[in-house]
Amino acid sequence: MGVTTILTEGDIAALLNELDGCETEGADWVSDNGELTLAGDWLTQSGLLGQSLIIEVLPGRITIRAEVGNMLA
């Protein structure tokens, strides 16, 4: 995983444009209010959308997984 600091709205737009259609990379960021945003084709392809999820947050790690008994699409 790589981490890149984005400082301006123009930088964000350029990054999202570069990643458009990329299946293995996405853009994720934390807003000033602490809200985590996940984006990218990988999220749709993961099968997690529309599922009941378990989210665990530990220092340096966030784990997102479908609840046991739910099938991934």
| Per-residue pLDDT reduced to its tens digit, 11-30 | 777 877 777 777 667 667 77
Quote the CA–CA distance of 45 and 7 in Å, as a whole number.
Answer: 29
Give residue 18's pLDDT: 77
43: three-class secondary structure by DSSP: helix
Kindly report, residue by residue over 29-63, the tens digit of the pLDDT.
777 787 777 777 777 777 778 888 888 887 777 78
% of the chain with per-residue pLDDT over 70: 73
Residue 71 has pLDDT above 80, yes or no: no
